[in-house]
Amino acid sequence: MPSQLASLKQWVDDVARLTQPDQVHWCDGSDAENAKLVELMLANGDLHKLNEQSHPNCYLHRSSPQDVARVEHLTFVCTTNPADAGPNNHWMEPAEAHAQMDALYAGCMRGRTMYVVPYCMGPIDSPLSRCGVEITDSPYVVANMRIMTRMGAAAQARIEREGKFVKGLHSIGELDPNRRFIMHFPEELSIQSFGSGYGGNALLGKKCHALRIASYQARTEGWLAEHMLIVGIENPKGETHYVAAAFPSACGKTNLAMLIPPEGYRRDGWKVWTVGDDICWMHPGADGRLYAINPEAGYFGVAPGTSEKTNANAMAMLNHDAIFTNVGVTADGQPWWEGMTTGTPAQDWQGRPYDKAVSPAAHPNARFTVSARQCPSYTDKAEDPQGVPLSAIIFGGRRASLVPLVLEARDWTHGVLVGASMASETTAAATGAVGVVRRDSMAMKPFAGYNFGDYFAHWLSFDKPGAQLPKIFQVNWFRKDADGKFMWPGFGDNLRVLEWVLKRATGQAGALETPVGNVPKPSDLNTDGLGLDAAVLEQLLAVDREGYKAEMASIGEYLEEFGDRTPHALKAERAKIAAQLA
């Protein structure tokens, strides 16, 4: 037996001794295996079959009402030195964390099957991909990991060849919120999760591996693991440029990744290609450009708010072979959530008769899991082993005021500052208050596996001789007027902004220089057929100098949180902008 397989088998045996399952099943990812798991979950109530005529091979899962979102306050990064985890993470000493988790895991799988899930994040034959193995006692996790990753025999073969993989151990335990932890050990490339069956806490290939552990891996190996969509924009000349964009959860990432061009743009021949909607791994290529892969093979998207109007591509991929979590159901067994324009819910997400006064039909963080290949805008570039070359990187968030519709960073250092100082109003994707403005650097606040100061320095390190780096931009689709109404239509019309972004990236458009970055003149944006008032557009592009003076002071305080780990270049860039504003 090759030593790589022996070490994997040894770890599986050790975990089985600790957790004491009734049986151990090594997953091969086959259709037959999946069919058996679905049958098992239908029998035990983990899944409910949806309308076979309208939604063939679609199932509903209801999680425990106390287990519906990521739990950032119970998520730890366990490094030898607490400063390496940084103030952006909750820290626990590794030995203490292991002791705590071992006590929880002891005998926790009695009466259950332990599933061994080998998976690959990224195209199975890509040098940019990385592998992992998740051990879990949840068949729901197995079914989701099969959709979300390249899971099974091919991944196991790659692991046996390479010998290096991220170890993930998960048990739903008793689903007790008081016995729930998600621990990350970046120095060991391992993850331990207990007490939750919810997506990001339980599908360990997703945020835990693809962001927290991968960001640490990426720093040591010279690449970037980011919370970004990847989208290809094809212009009427047939040229496709790829953009990566970071937004906090529920800020329209999936809608942008699957954008449908406005009618006039479609007529002219514009097309949009979805490479990924959530996570982006970027590696420098031999030509100095950054090349990106989507490590995921599926979408774990927020359902409420997804509709024919907001994201017709997403709706088109959800009528077969999908798993829905915590959505409502119509009387004839179709999935339903707030934002849908057809159907009427009969049951809410907890299986109770629907009563609007008691509960929304779907939980605000209800999800769908579906293969990326089902998306009408899917491109086979998502399976390109070399990845796609990036022309632009975009940072965005929910800001009701201050931040213009779009601005361009002057250079890479300024762009890193723009990303580092991103702020957004919180949404239902994380536990806690909704609508609070918080700094969320690169939309990575809950996901960076090490100190943000070191993370900013790692970003800056890519600006070296010979690098052909993408231009960096900031967007804000969420500006509101005095009456609290959104000023920009958003959705498909965001392509109007992306057109300017790509023209800037290829040197084909002008801009107005301001102390906080370059903004388009109103005439630089194509607003044909939009019916947008000229005064509104001017306001959307205006730079509020007084407001930005306060913002720069706030950014300065934020950067100080990371002490001497904050790169001097970032502090100097902030000071330069503050001086220009003054």
Residues carrying an active site annotation: 251
Give the 3-state DSSP-derived string for 345-384, with helices as H, strands as E and coil as C: EEECCCCCECCCCCCCCCCCCCEEEEEHHHCCCECHHHHC
| Cα 445 from Cα 426, distance rounded (Å) | 12
| Cα 219 from Cα 416, distance rounded (Å) | 16
Which of 272, 534, 525 minimizes the C-alpha distance to 406? 525
DSSP-derived 3-state class of residue 262: coil
> Do 258 and 375 form a contact (C-beta atoms < 8 A)?
yes
Tokens of 66: 């106390």
Concatenate the DSSP letters of all residues of 149-198 into one string: SEESHHHHHHHHHH---EEEEEE-TT--GGG-EEEEEGGGTEEEEES--S
Residue where the block lists tokens 């037959």: 32
Long-range contacts of 506-514 (CB under 8 A, 24+ apart): 506/241, 506/391, 511/408, 514/407, 514/543
Tokens of 581: 């504003």
Residues placed in the known binding site for substrate:
70, 198-200, 249, 365-367
Which of 156, 188, 210 minimizes the C-alpha distance to 8? 156
Residues placed in the known binding site for GTP:
250-255, 367, 398, 491-494
Concatenate the DSSP letters of all residues of 489-558 into one string: --GGGHHHHHHHHHHHHTT----EEETTEEE--GGGS--TTT---HHHHHHHH---HHHHHHHHHHHHHH
To the nearest 10°, report the CA torsion of 485, 489, 491, 495.
Answer: -140
Residues 6+ apart with CB under 8 A from 573: 413, 414, 417
| Cα 199 from Cα 203, distance rounded (Å) | 5
* 441-456: b (≥16 Cβ within 10 Å) or e: bbbbbbbbbbbbbbbb
Return the amino acid letter for 312: A
Residues placed in the known binding site for Mn(2+):
207, 227, 278
Which of 286, 178, 274 minimizes the C-alpha distance to 229? 274
| Cα 244 from Cα 472, distance rounded (Å) | 10
DSSP-derived 3-state class of residue 433: coil
> Do 132 and 165 form a contact (C-beta atoms < 8 A)?
yes
Concatenate the DSSP letters of all residues of 452-493 into one string: HHHHHHHHHTT--TT--PPEEEEE-TT-B-TTS-BSS--GGG
Which of 143, 210, 206, 168 minimizes the C-alpha distance to 12? 168
Which of 472, 76, 91 minimizes the C-alpha distance to 244? 472
| Cα 155 from Cα 541, distance rounded (Å) | 48
Tokens of 124: 């199975």
